[in-house]
Amino acid sequence: MGTVTGYVTGINGNLANVSFDGAVHKNEVAYIIVDDARLKGEVIRINNGVASMQIYEMSNGVKVGDKVEFTGEMMSVELGPGLLTQVFDGLQNPLPELAEKCGFFLQRGVYLDPIPDREWDFTPCVKPGDHVQAGTPFGSVPEGLFKHQIMVPFTLRGDDWTVKSIKEAGSYHVRATICVIENSKGEEKELSMVFSQPVKQAVKCYDERLRPDEPLITKIRCIDAFLPVAKGGTFCVPGPFGAGKTVLQHMEAKNGEADIVIVAACGERAGEVVEILQEFPELEDPKTGRSLMERTIIICNTSSMPVAAREASCYTAVTLAEYFRQMGLDVLLLADSTSRWAQAMREMSGRLEEIPGEEAFPAYLESTIASFYERAGKVRLNDGRVASITIGGTVSPAGGNFDEPVTQATLKVVGAFHGLSRERSDARKYPAIHPMDSWSKYSGVVEMDRVEEARNYLRRGNEVNQMMKVIGEEGTSFEDYIIYQKGELLDAVYLQQNSFDPIDAACSPERQQEEFDVLFDALTQTYDLEEKTDIRAFFNQLRQEFLDWHGFEFKTPGYEEQKEKIKAFFMAKAVI
């Protein structure tokens, strides 16, 4: 079948209308030829012989009559060994190599192979005559900390394939044929270590989808105990600009119990992405003591890059996550920020002249966001291993307004909501997650009944605080004032952490449970305090004792001594 070609009949920003003769399908990749440059695009609508195509590059200079070549292939990514430690753009171009070739200012129409052109030490795990299907490993290569499995392409149709031949253990080029499989019809396929996977086609090469019931430990007390995230679950972190979304993502990436971390900067400001690129290689992986970058992939598509590529970067990231999930690994995908992706959708929808929804976002905003988060999950693979993808997306609502469409559409599909507060951020509280506005449907490291009882002290303390702003401290009863102080104690010593302290920055689940037990005991006591000055002095001292406790290594003599000191201090004033 010959290549389908066409020509540009209209151009509006990064949307081109292309007239063509032949067969073209939706999500097909095409190239517009402009001044010897090939600008990559994707067909997003076909109507009466005219394809509407979003261009993933700057569209300056595109004019009516320019030639267009359709590839017949879906928008895809390349999967294989060599992906870890890489920094890609939204189209999976390796940015360091791109910068090396083009200089500081990247040229449009330049596309490089994402998989490094090198040899790997291959070890087969199947033999001729073995049965294989899509997603079946047929060998492995060592890559950094992991045994990178080489798998049958996920797009392989049918399950009647057998291994005809396979190379012996040895060093082979990443694109060399190392395995040949055939089906009952005699059709053969040659397999290398690399294959392509359409980004908008979810990988479903697993036996069963499981309920996400195991907590994803982040070592952040506020999250693990009060607002837990599950392995294979979803969560969103909306918040106003400067409230600490990126810092929180850094700590989740560093301390989260995941094998692979994928960061998708889908439209975040360039300055923040530069910060990620500079800091991630410097972050020490607490599991290995080496650079966190060794198990990280960064998809970098800043707000200064072409708008349409924001969508591609989200789908590229989640497809890479599915690839590593198929190896039996737990993957954490952090998307920052989905608001910019939604704004790109709004821009494209306007150019397509579609009927707008709320705030001019497209009517399909909710379904598109849902389809992205639904690719998270905990699964049992065909060989019985359990693996997961956990997706956390930040949302940047204008003015911190959580009622805007992107935040509301996200809240309908995620399992946990970590809303950042401008008020708490300005008060230098880290993390600035609002403990009463936020929620989670998952279970954490502490029994949820006790957590809810503790949260009730926060809620009642906040009510007393609001009342005190009107009538003053002197108009508040002793009972109400103690409730207020208990709420402040819980907030200060458990919900906040000192990210500059190497011990308090990461709190193990065992330590979280033990600290919560002591704090819960202190909160539920009735105290013999008669004056507000005594109440204030008592809780201030108790708060300081807890903060001092955070500075001791877990289970050391000093830690145990401080624990007993805290218990003795508050029990001395308790009514027994």
Q: Does residue 1 carry a pLDDT above 50?
A: no
Q: Does residue 576 carry a pLDDT above 80?
A: no
Task: Express each pLDDT in 348-360 by its tens digit.
Answer: 999 999 999 999 9
Taking residues 410-420, what's their average pLDDT? 96
Task: Express each pLDDT in 466-481 by its tens digit.
Answer: 999 899 888 889 999 9
Q: Percent of the chain beyond pLDDT 70?
A: 100
Written as six digits, the tokens of 175 are 């694109």
Q: Does residue 141 carry a pLDDT above 80?
A: yes
The answer to whether 57 touches 39, Cβ cutoff 8 Å, is yes
Task: Express each pLDDT in 198-216 by its tens digit.
Answer: 999 999 999 999 999 999 9
* DSSP characters over 329-397: -EEEEEES-HHHHHHHHHHHHHHTTPPB-GGG-BTTHHHHHHHHHTT-EEEE-TTS-EEEEEEEEEE--
Between the alpha carbon of residue 448 and those of residues 237, 306, 454, the distances in Å are: 21, 45, 10
Neighbours of 565 (CB within 10 A): 12
Between the alpha carbon of residue 256 and those of residues 333, 340, 554, the distances in Å are: 11, 25, 19
Written as six digits, the tokens of 139 are 């060998």
pLDDT of residue 413: 96
Q: Specify the DSSP element, H or E, that contains 405.
A: helix 405-411
pLDDT of residue 2: 61
pLDDT of residue 254: 87
Cα 317 off chain centre by = 9
CA nearest neighbour of 229 among 217, 243, 246:
217
* DSSP characters over 449-518: HHHHHHHHHHHHHHHHHHHHHHH-GGGS-HHHHHHHHHHHHHIIIII---TTSTTTTS--HHHHHHHHHH
Neighbours of 255 (CB within 10 A): 21
If 0-12 CB within 10 Å is exposed, 13-18 middle and 19+ buried, where does residue 561 land?
Answer: exposed
Written as six digits, the tokens of 349 are 């929808």
pLDDT of residue 336: 86
**CA torsion, ordered 143, 146, 150, 153, to nearest 10 deg:** -110
Taking each helix axis from N to C end, the angle separating 245-255 and 270-279, rounded to the nearest 10 degrees, works out to: 30
Number of H helices, E strands in the chain: 14, 26
Task: Express each pLDDT in 528-543 by its tens digit.
Answer: 988 899 999 999 999 9
pLDDT of residue 301: 84
Q: Does residue 268 carry a pLDDT above 80?
A: no
Q: Does residue 389 carry a pLDDT above 90?
A: yes
pLDDT of residue 299: 92
Question: Which residues lie closer than 8 Å to 346 by C-beta, 6 or more apart?
Answer: 360, 361, 362
d(CA 278, CA 212): 33
β-pair partners for 67: 7
Taking residues 46-68, what's their average pLDDT? 93
If 0-12 CB within 10 Å is exposed, 13-18 middle and 19+ buried, where does residue 279 land?
Answer: middle
Q: Does residue 107 carry a pLDDT above 80?
A: yes
Between the alpha carbon of residue 5 and those of residues 48, 341, 432, the distances in Å are: 16, 30, 53
Between the alpha carbon of residue 111 and those of residues 83, 177, 318, 373, the distances in Å are: 16, 24, 21, 29
Q: Does residue 381 carry a pLDDT above 80?
A: yes
Task: Express each pLDDT in 145-204 by its tens digit.
Answer: 899 999 999 999 988 899 999 999 999 999 999 999 999 888 999 999 999 999 999 999
pLDDT of residue 310: 86
Neighbours of 163 (CB within 10 A): 21
* DSSP characters over 86-151: -EE-TT--BHHHHHHHH-SSPPTT----SS-S-EEEEEE---TT-EE-TT-EEEEEEETTEEEEEE
Number of residues that this document lists for the chain = 576
Question: Which residues lie closer than 8 Å to 46 by C-beta, 6 or more apart?
Answer: 24, 25, 26, 52
pLDDT of residue 74: 93
Task: Name the E strands within 48-93.
Answer: 50-55, 67-74, 76-79, 87-88
Question: Which residues lie closer than 8 Å to 222 by C-beta, 6 or more apart?
Answer: 431, 433, 435, 494, 495, 496, 497
Q: Does residue 112 carry a pLDDT above 70?
A: yes
Taking residues 551-559, what's their average pLDDT? 95
Question: Which residues lie closer than 8 Å to 237 by C-beta, 6 or more apart?
Answer: 245, 248, 249, 392, 393, 394, 395, 418, 419, 420
Domains of the chain as residue ranges with CATH: 5-74 (2.40.10.170), 118-193 (2.40.50.100), 206-440 (3.40.50.300), 448-573 (1.10.1140.10)
Taking residues 15-23, what's their average pLDDT? 94
The answer to whether 574 touches 527, Cβ cutoff 8 Å, is yes
